[in-house]
């Protein structure tokens, strides 16, 4: 699988493929060359999944509360704030 086909995958499809690769590598039945190719593909899939998660996090909005505890609106999600 090349980089352009990895980036075309949905998060769920990329994660399923990554799980399959991990199982194959843990199984230990692949040749050394195949294992290296699977590992390389897995790295690309991992990066793709991380990017998709970062994009999703940027779209999340946190609910802001007023002093009385009521919902007072929303603000963009900031992972650095608690």
Q: Does some domain include residue 23? A: yes
Q: pLDDT tens digit string along 22-65? A: 999 999 999 999 999 999 999 999 999 999 998 887 666 666 66
What pLDDT sits at residue 70? 74
76 pLDDT higher than 90: no
Q: Which residue has tokens 């593909």? A: 41
User: Two tokens at 35?
Assistant: 């294992």
Q: Does some domain include residue 77? A: no
Counting the structural domains of the chain, the total is: 1
Q: Which domain holds residue 7?
A: 3-70
Is there a contact between 55 and 13 (Cβ–Cβ < 8 Å)?
A: no
Q: Does some domain include residue 82? A: no
pTM as predicted: 0.71
Nearest to residue 14, comparing CAs of 54, 53, 55, 45?
45
């Amino acid at each position: 699988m090349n980089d352009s086909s990895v980036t075309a995958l949905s998060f769920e499809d990329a994660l399923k493929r990554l799980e399959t690769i991990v199982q194959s590598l843990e199984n230990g039945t692949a040749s050394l060359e195949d294992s290296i190719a699977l590992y390389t593909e897995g790295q690309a899939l991992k990066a793709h999944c991380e990017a998709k998660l970062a994009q999703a996090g940027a779209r999340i909005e946190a609910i802001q509360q007023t002093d009385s505890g009521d919902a007072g609106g929303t603000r963009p999600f900031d992972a650095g704030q608690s």
